[in-house]
A and B are shown apart, each in its own frame.
Chain A
Amino acid sequence: MLKEKLEKFFKIDRRWIFLLLAIVLFAPIMKPIGLPNKTISRDAQNAYTFMDNIPAGSFVLFSLDYDPSTRPELHPQAMAMVRHAFKRDLRVGVVTFIAGSTGLISQIFAKVPGEYNKGNGTDYVIFPYQANYAAVMTQMGSDLYGIYDKDQDGRDARTLPVMKGVKNYKDMALVVDITGTSILDQWVAFVGDKFNVPVVGGVTAISQPGYGPYLQTKQLKGLLGGMKGAAEYESLIKEPGKGTSGIDSLNLAHLLVLILIMTSNIILLIIRYL
């Protein structure tokens, strides 16, 4: 009798679970609970420390290679890292190899530079989308202007104050790649290892475990993984954003998954030994 009742649990229409998950994710957006993000991973801390120790005025190249499909995870990471660069008075250059990210880059630079009184062309520059990343990365090793002679607005890149003294990777203090693709691997292989440039990454949570080997060998100086990585970096720079606000929803959703897994396993054990 009890066995039959318990077996019904495994025949629940999965749409009830979808509904429950939707409620669990949506409720904290309407009414934030404020669950703290207390743990900072070693890789996020390393990324922060590396950026924090770069001398003011140095040039940092951001490669923002993500499109709307990975926006919730990677956009907060990019916002936080660009904020940190401006806070540290670093010069910022932006490139992209993903056409869909041009609008997202515009969103970041329509908002963030204004918060720190930074100007387009003097403190930062956005270069246009380029298709073939391998060719671009290789070319930038000798002369950046061979591929990026003009910025996104058509201005001569050589004459921009932000580019003063910057010709190739030797003049860059750090490359930051935030991507939902494997382009970070290419930054490590074609640029980090070849030209001895420090590389820091920001990737989706799915890709994060795969970068363990590069972190162990210090081929990557630091790494942010998914929305949690964004929340960690926001905590480090003390600028809460979308990453931090998403932690409530993520925590509750993970709790729901844990409860469902545990409940079904316990029921399965009872059924087996009853």
Chain B
Amino acid sequence: MELFTNLWAWFSGLFVITPAWMTLGAWVAVGLTIFIFSFLYKDNPFFKIAEHLYLGAGMGWWFQVYLYSIFIPKVWDPLMAHQWGVIIPAVLGISLVTQFIPRISWMSRYGFTFMMGYGAGLAVPAGLSTDFIAQIGGTIEPLSRMASMTPFAIFNSLLVAFGVICVLFYFFFSVEHKGAVKKVSSIGIYFLMIYFGAAFGNTVMARFSLLYGRFDELYTYSGSNYFYATQVILISMVLYFVVHALANKGKKGTSEEAA
């Protein structure tokens, strides 16, 4: 293990951040961003390269995270320090892998049993208290102190309580939805629609924010200190599409357009 750690330290030393590495990093970042965005025009080999690189790099990243942040500090180091107690959770963890070998896959049940018991034990009381009791209290409590509230706060509290009741009716399926029940549950749908509308509006804002983040980086890397990475790669991509279009003029399109 020491040899492995030393080898890793030597290998990491090769990647000490220097201005040259920063510039190379900028070119890689810009290239991959533009390659991914190029799919909005149409499918192309550069997009495929970026897509596969993403998957490969992601796997590599997670492997080193599990090795260096979990396995070594949580299992290997304690074992080396003769803390034998870690063998029990380690064996339970390893038992999960046995599900890939049908003959001994029954062993994985022990690991899953432990996880389910542990997870349920943690989640059920916390969920009941935080998401159930506290929320019921939060809906009812304002109604008990209306005398000290402003007219708007009173309206707000009543609206919240009314909305909760209507939405609960909508999700109550043991009574046939007709007559008064149907009317109440229909109002519940309107409350849900308002929530979905707000959530969708926020989703649009979130997506624009992410796009802004990439564009901001593209602009940063368009400077002379990064040797005009954005402009060079963008123009190269446009040229590729022009040449590709000219070369395939008259042929039936095989590439996929943006969905």
Interface residues of A (CB under 8 A from B): 14-15, 18, 21-22, 25-26, 29-30, 69-73, 99-100, 128-131, 134, 138, 185, 188-190, 193-194, 204-206, 208-210, 213, 216-217, 219, 225-228, 242, 245-246, 249-250, 253-254, 257
Contacts and interface: CB of A to CB of B under 8 A. Distances in A.
B122 A25 contact: no
A206 B212 contact: no
A179 B173 CA distance: 35
Contact of B210 (A72, A216, A225, A245): A72
Interface residues of B, number: 40
A189 B129 contact: yes
Contacts of B65: 99, 129
Contact of A205 (B41, B138, B209): B209
B198 A217 contact: no
A257 B204 contact: yes
Chain B binding surface, main DSSP class: helix
25 contacts: A25-B212, A26-B215, A69-B210, A72-B209, A99-B61, A100-B61, A129-B65, A130-B69, A131-B69, A185-B130, A189-B127, A193-B129, A194-B126, A205-B209, A206-B202, A206-B206, A216-B160, A226-B205, A226-B209, A228-B205, A245-B216, A246-B212, A250-B205, A253-B212, A254-B204
A258 B209 CA distance: 17
Contacts, number: 117
B199 interface: yes
B122 A190 contact: yes
Nearest to A257: B204
Interface in B195-249: 195, 198-199, 202-206, 208-216, 218-219
B245 to A, nearest CB: 14
A193 B208 contact: no
Chain A binding surface, main DSSP class: helix
Most buried by B among A14, A190, A216, A228: A216
Contacts of B202: 205-206, 208-209, 225-226
Contacts of A18: 40, 258
B135 A217 contact: yes
B199 A206 contact: yes
Contacts of A242: 216
Contact of A73 (B127, B210, B215): B210
Contact of B211 (A25, A134, A210): A25
Given A18-B258, A217-B137, A226 B206 contact: yes
Contacts of B134: 193, 217, 219
